[in-house]
Amino acid sequence: MDRDARLQEWERRAQPYLFIASTLFLTSYSVRVLDPGLSPAWYVLWETVTVVSWSVFVAEYLARLVFSRDRWHFVRTRWLDLIVTVLPLLRPLRMIDLHERMQLRRDAPGLGLEARVMTYSGLAAALLGYAASLAVYHVESSAPDANIHTFGDAVWWACSTLTTTGYGDATPVTARGRVVAVGLMFVGVALVGAVVGSFSSYLMRSFRREGER
Amino acid sequence: MDRDARLQEWERRAQPYLFIASTLFLTSYSVRVLDPGLSPAWYVLWETVTVVSWSVFVAEYLARLVFSRDRWHFVRTRWLDLIVTVLPLLRPLRMIDLHERMQLRRDAPGLGLEARVMTYSGLAAALLGYAASLAVYHVESSAPDANIHTFGDAVWWACSTLTTTGYGDATPVTARGRVVAVGLMFVGVALVGAVVGSFSSYLMRSFRREGER
Amino acid sequence: MDRDARLQEWERRAQPYLFIASTLFLTSYSVRVLDPGLSPAWYVLWETVTVVSWSVFVAEYLARLVFSRDRWHFVRTRWLDLIVTVLPLLRPLRMIDLHERMQLRRDAPGLGLEARVMTYSGLAAALLGYAASLAVYHVESSAPDANIHTFGDAVWWACSTLTTTGYGDATPVTARGRVVAVGLMFVGVALVGAVVGSFSSYLMRSFRREGER
Amino acid sequence: MDRDARLQEWERRAQPYLFIASTLFLTSYSVRVLDPGLSPAWYVLWETVTVVSWSVFVAEYLARLVFSRDRWHFVRTRWLDLIVTVLPLLRPLRMIDLHERMQLRRDAPGLGLEARVMTYSGLAAALLGYAASLAVYHVESSAPDANIHTFGDAVWWACSTLTTTGYGDATPVTARGRVVAVGLMFVGVALVGAVVGSFSSYLMRSFRREGER
């Protein structure tokens, strides 16, 4: 119990530093991908920032894993931590989780459950869409038969995928680009689920309230 | 309190004039976009109507903003007003909101909640689809590699986007056209949400009623 | 009241004859569209069957309209009758409505509400998909730049539209074909709504039952 | 009653052997489709495994059908058995059904209803997607104008279909491939329904629990 409490204390204290590291990771990766005219010196600098911030995430996760008593329990209950350590572009997702927990601790949810679900799924969709656009633009821009040529094309593709519209005028053609796309498609289905489910739930409650009046 | 009451009184009185102005805006914009054989004199006339009606919206919004005591509160609570002032093509959406409030004041909703959600989301989808078709046709018709050549193509594209079908045989290729398209896609997801949520809610209530019998 | 009762008696008695007429209409239209090698004599025969059965629908609807006391009320409450009179390909939809009413009269719904919604929306989707495939194949097969060449292509397009997948490898290019397609797209959204809503409702009830145990 | 009990006893005992047979069927079919450089001897060996395991399924189904007292009742209540006997690629689906029944017998559902629905629909989607990719790759790889050339293309197509995105850059062009695709599309709609419905149901319950606190 003591050990768990110390783990939680550590996690609470480490958050601000991890937040700075995740901002640095996202910024350095974005700059490297989006600015083709970067001088070699700057490129190396930004690459170092990317690598160092990623190392911080991996080191912090491993440290916690080694420290925790029941390691399999740790991996299972903190699966989101594992995902954002392997795919650091998604780390800002962790902020949503933190915000939610802080809200619950203060016992002041502020917004209703549906409004929070809508806000969180909107933020998650925006972050995932941006990360997927970056990654797909990164891997597709050098493919010979690509139809995603600019970052604008990648954003356009990401929006059409997230809403499950799928025009097909801009689609990844490389294996790595398609793996990212498959992830985004299933997020699209979940996003539709979150919006639709929240809306349905909101309607049901409105009715109950109307009935009680 | 007095000031708020006067603001509401002003808003109630201004509505008919704003409704006329929004009809004029929609008509003049539609005529300019849809009639390529317009003589220069008529074109200038209709353009003047567009500009004047838009100015009316902006002036009315600014007047209310200056008059209101808590300006940040005004901006936050009337965000729909800000949207329809910046994008006047969507102003008729305001009518839905007004109708709903009038219904509530008369305490006679007439239709059930689901029926109203279906009706309103249907009307909103029709208006947004028409506005998006007009705007996309406007910006795409002069693009060199466009595949939306006629207003019919634009309507076809808008329907395929709103239902998240996304055939991809007619898609915007310009940056401005794609921004409009992204807006319409997310409306499509919300529309599906409204239809599905209302239907689910309606089924649940039917069951409860059957159970009570 | 007497007049209404006689109207209902008439409607009850006319159903079998209308059912035969709607089967004849669907068969004659299908044969004319699907069999390109029809000899002129047979073509004229089947065309006569189409025209006569359609005339029967129109005559029956007008007779009821003239007979009913409150004509506007008649048009409003029997809007499905108006639709299936104008678009007789959809007339078999009327059978679903009839079956439901018969079930209610016998007070033996047999299936639960969700199962009926799933069955009915499945049948409606199948009928509408078949009717849309026929109509689109009919109007597209003679268009010069069509990409729907066979009835199989039309069915393939209809399935991809009903599920809102929208591959875009087979899409109507004529104005009339696109009008049919837009109708089918919105049915697709409603179908998804029916399936999803029923499923959600079924889950909720399962939970309540589990909770009561 | 005695006969039904013996049928159930038989079904319980036969399951492990059928599971081995279904694994052999899936493996042998996969190897034959995915390995183009298979030597003739090995090809014949794997083909024999496919045919023998299929024969086992058919024989077992027919034996149970002949043994059961009310045959029409048997066919109707065990429709999933009929489907997985005709389409043995889908047989692992049977495992989900078995797992669910075992859970119910032990009276220890472990997970909540929504979590089970999400898990089962995820597993079903993965299995159906894999089976459809295999089957489509099998029939399309020899078609002259195919745009699905590799197994990777087939998986990419299956993911875009299951989520109803439908890019259309890789679609089946043969009749048999399209029949498989239509099946997968409707599964896609049902999958979206399962995810959305479960989510909506989960939200509703969260609310009720929050209200009770």
Tell me how far apart the alpha carbons of residues C48 and C34 are, in angstroms, rounded to a whole number: 17
- Looking up tokens 């606190």 gives D213
Q: Please give the average per-residue pLDDT across A163-178, as a whole number.
A: 92
Q: Please give the average per-residue pLDDT across A100-120, as a whole number.
A: 66
pLDDT digits (tens, 9 = 90+) for C47-62: 999 999 999 999 999 9
Q: Residue A176: its chain D contacts at CB < 8 A?
A: none
CB B168 to CB D164 under 8 A? no
The pLDDT assigned to D98 comes to 67
CB-CB: which of B113, B178, B185 is closest to A165? B185
CB-CB: which of C166, C197, C200 is closest to A166? C166
- Please tell me if residue D118 touches chain A, with a CB cutoff of 8 Å: no
Q: Residue D113: its chain C contacts at CB < 8 A?
A: 203, 206-207, 210
Number of neighbouring beta carbons within 10 Å of residue B38 = 16
Domain ranges of chain D: 1-92, 111-213
* B118, closest residue in chain C (CA to CA): C190
Which C positions 151-170 lie with beta carbon below 8 A of chain D?
Answer: 152, 156, 159-160, 163-169
| Chain D: partners with 3+ C-beta pairs within 8 Å | A, B, C
CB D169 to CB A167 under 8 A? no
CB-CB: which of D164, D168, D200 is closest to B200? D200
The vertex-B40 CA angle with B39 and B42, nearest 5°, equals 70
Q: Which residue numbers in chain B have pLDDT < 70?
A: 1, 97-111, 207, 210-213
- Phi/psi zone of residue A93: left (φ > 0), alpha (ψ -120 to 50 degrees), beta? alpha
CB C167 to CB A168 under 8 A? yes
Q: Residue C208: its chain A contacts at CB < 8 A?
A: none
- Looking up tokens 């079956």 gives C99
The pLDDT assigned to A121 comes to 82
The vertex-C154 CA angle with C151 and C156, nearest 5°, equals 110
Tell me how far apart the alpha carbons of residues C74 and C64 are, in angstroms, rounded to a whole number: 9
Q: Please give the average per-residue pLDDT across A60-83, as a whole number.
A: 85
CB B200 to CB C200 under 8 A? yes
pLDDT at C77 over 70: yes
Structure tokens at B28: 């003049």
Q: Which residue, among D184, D199, D201, D202, would best test binding to A if mutated, counting the most A CBs under 10 Å from its CB?
A: D199
Structure tokens at D84: 């997985």
Å from B172 to nearest chain D CA? 16
* D202, closest residue in chain A (CA to CA): A197
> What is the rounded average pLDDT for all residues in chain A?
84
Q: Residue D167: its chain B contacts at CB < 8 A?
A: 168
Tell me how far apart the alpha carbons of residues B156 and C178 are, in angstroms, rounded to a whole number: 7
pLDDT at A175 over 90: yes
The pLDDT assigned to D116 comes to 78
Q: Residue C165: its chain A contacts at CB < 8 A?
A: 166
pLDDT at A113 over 80: no
Higher pLDDT, A101 or B158: B158
Higher pLDDT, A206 or D151: D151
* B188, closest residue in chain C (CA to CA): C189
How many CB contacts within 8 angstroms connect chain C with chain D?
A: 71
pLDDT digits (tens, 9 = 90+) for D65-113: 888 888 888 888 788 788 888 888 888 777 776 666 666 665 544 557 7
The pLDDT assigned to C87 comes to 87
DSSP state of D69: S
- Phi/psi zone of residue D112: left (φ > 0), alpha (ψ -120 to 50 degrees), beta? beta
Q: How confident is the model at residue A111 (pLDDT cuts 50, 70, 90)?
A: low
Tell me how far apart the alpha carbons of residues C149 and C155 are, in angstroms, rounded to a whole number: 11
Tell me which CATH code domain D111-213 carries. Answer: 1.10.287.70
CB D196 to CB C200 under 8 A? yes
pLDDT at A199 over 70: yes
Q: Please give the average per-residue pLDDT across A7-15, as a whole number.
A: 81
CB C168 to CB A167 under 8 A? yes
How many CB contacts within 8 angstroms connect chain A with chain D?
A: 71
| Rg for chain A, CA atoms, rounded | 20
Taking the C-alpha atoms of C80, C85, C89 and C95 in order, what is their torsion angle to the nearest 10 degrees?
50
| Chain C: partners with 3+ C-beta pairs within 8 Å | A, B, D
The pLDDT assigned to A212 comes to 63
SS3 C53: helix
Q: Please give the average per-residue pLDDT across A43-52, as a whole number.
A: 93
Q: Residue B165: its chain A contacts at CB < 8 A?
A: 165
**pLDDT tens track, chain D, 213 positions:** 577 788 778 877 888 888 889 889 999 999 999 988 889 999 999 999 999 999 999 999 998 888 888 888 888 878 878 888 888 888 877 777 666 666 666 554 455 777 777 888 888 888 889 999 999 999 998 888 898 999 999 999 999 999 989 998 999 999 999 999 999 998 888 777 777 777 777 777 776 676 665
Tell me how far apart the alpha carbons of residues A94 and A30 are, in angstroms, rounded to a whole number: 19
The pLDDT assigned to A70 comes to 84
Q: SS3 string of chain B?
A: CHHHHHHHHHHHHHHHHHHHHHHHHHHHHHHHHHCCCCCHHHHHHHHHHHHHHHHHHHHHHHHHHHHCCCHHHHHHHCHHHHHHHHCHHHCCHHHHHHHHHHHHHCCCCCCCHHHHHHHHHHHHHHHHHHHHHHHHHHHHCCCCCCCCCCHHHHHHHHHHHHCCCCCCCCCCCCHHHHHHHHHHHHHHHHHHHHHHHHHHHHHHHHHHHHHHC
CB C199 to CB D192 under 8 A? no
pLDDT at C177 over 80: yes
CB D191 to CB A189 under 8 A? yes
Q: How confident is the model at residue C1 (pLDDT cuts 50, 70, 90)?
A: low
Does residue C53 contact residue C22 with C-beta atoms inside 8 Å? yes
Q: Residue C168: its chain B contacts at CB < 8 A?
A: 166-169
**Which of A149-158, B41-50, C69-78 is predicted least confidently?**
C69-78
DSSP state of D144: T
The pLDDT assigned to C133 comes to 95
pLDDT digits (tens, 9 = 90+) for B20-57: 898 899 999 999 999 888 899 999 999 999 999 999 99
CB C163 to CB D171 under 8 A? no
Q: Tell me the CB-side half-sphere exposure of residue C6, using CA atoms within 13 A.
A: 8
Q: How far is CA B159 from the centre of its chain?
A: 16
Range C161-200 burial, b when 16+ CB lie within 10 A, else e = bbbbbbbbbbbbbbeebbbbbbbbbbbbbbbbbbbbbbbb
The pLDDT assigned to D155 comes to 95
SS3 D6: helix
How many CB contacts within 8 angstroms connect chain A with chain C?
A: 11
Q: Residue D197: its chain C contacts at CB < 8 A?
A: 196-197, 199-200, 202-203
Q: Residue D165: its chain B contacts at CB < 8 A?
A: 166
Q: How confident is the model at residue A102 (pLDDT cuts 50, 70, 90)?
A: low
Q: Please give the average per-residue pLDDT across C22-51, as a whole number.
A: 91
The pLDDT assigned to B133 comes to 95
CB-CB: which of D167, D202, D204 is closest to A171? D167
Q: ipTM above 0.90?
A: no
Non-local (6+) Cβ contacts of A99 within 8 A are none
CB B200 to CB A202 under 8 A? no
The pLDDT assigned to D19 comes to 85
Non-local (6+) Cβ contacts of A161 within 8 A are A132, A181, A184, A185, A188, D165
CB C193 to CB B207 under 8 A? no
Structure tokens at A119: 């806000």
Looking at chain C, the whole-number percentage of residues with pLDDT higher than 90 is 35
Structure tokens at A20: 């700075």
CB B203 to CB C201 under 8 A? yes
Helix axes C175-212, A175-212, angle to 10 degrees: 60
The pLDDT assigned to D100 comes to 66
Å from D3 to nearest chain C CA? 28
